[in-house]
Amino acid sequence: MVGDRHATRRSFHQPGGGSVDVSRIDHITVTAPTLAAGAAFVVKTLGATPQPGGEHPRMGTHNLLLRLGDALFLEIIAPNPNAPSPGRPRWFALDQLAPDAPPSLSTWVARTGDIRATAAASSEDLGLVEPMSRGQRNWLITIPADGSIALDGAAPALIEWDDHPHPATGLRNQGLSLARLDIFHPDPRRAAALLASIGLEGAVACQQGDRPQLVAHINTPQGIKELSI
């Protein structure tokens, strides 16, 4: 893997010494029991139709994608009924979804130019760094061994892409962009400390909430829409 080619490479110094690469929002992820259900949820909420992504052979999943910027997209991901069992827990807690579970914005992914250093600097355990692929694309990503979502979705997975152009560049521009991502958590200081530890830059805010929840504020041709549960 190479460094992050999709943003200017910068680092920041941590209070305790040392430095890590700045990280940025790469994509937000809607989980659903089926891609059809996830697509219907996104179309109803945002008024835009996602396009095919591909399959993840190691995870037994597949996805749809929607462009939110030059290096930012929305992903809809679901178990692939035509794929063999991966022989391990699927990522993003997909094995925990009931067949009639509603689609929801469950997690998000932050891009870094040095995933191992950023994962080591994180104040939360984000999982093991693993190689992953979809078609001709290859990347490294953090995945908890049990397939769970770190910090109940408040924590991102970390990703380091290969040296190809960012996937968003190949998606149709439907006039959508991410205005802000709100992270609600019973302990917002813990969530904020995590974001600081990975050097996150971007429009992300941590707020007090009775339960963990993500709310994405997305600019659309019809105005700002909120995507959550």
Domain ranges of the chain: 11-227
Whether 135 has a pLDDT exceeding 90, the answer reads: no
Name the 3-class secondary structure at 116: helix
Q: Dig out the tokens for 172 from the structure.
A: 């149709």
Report the chain's terminal Cα–Cα distance, integer Å: 34
Q: Is the pLDDT of residue 155 over 70?
A: yes
The two structure tokens encoding residue 160 = 């380091």
Calpha distance 50→195 (Å, rounded): 28
pLDDT bracket for residue 136 (50, 70, 90): confident
Give the mean model confidence (pLDDT) for residues 3-27: 63
For range 70-95, the mean pLDDT: 96
Out of 14-18, 98-102, 116-120, 159-163, least confident range:
14-18
CA-to-CA distance for 184 and 195, rounded, in angstroms?
13
Inter-residue contact 115 to 159 (CB < 8 Å): yes
Residue 79 has pLDDT above 80, yes or no: yes
- Residue 141's CB is within 10 A of a number of other CB atoms, namely 20
Tokens 């400390």, located at residue? 193
CA distances from residue 137 to 10, 15, 37, 130 in whole angstroms, order as listed = 24, 36, 25, 14
Q: Are 90 and 60 in contact (CB under 8 A)?
A: yes
Contact 103, 94 (CB under 8 A): no
In angstroms, rounded to a whole number, what is the distance separating the alpha carbons of residues 141 and 135?
Answer: 16
The superfamily in CATH containing domain 11-227 is: 2,3-Dihydroxybiphenyl 1,2-Dioxygenase, domain 1 (3.10.180.10)
Mean pLDDT for 138-151 is 95
Tell me: pLDDT of 69 over 50. Answer: yes
Share of the chain above pLDDT 90, in %: 86
pLDDT the model gives residue 111: 97
> What is the band of 7 on the pLDDT scale with cuts at 50, 70, 90?
very low
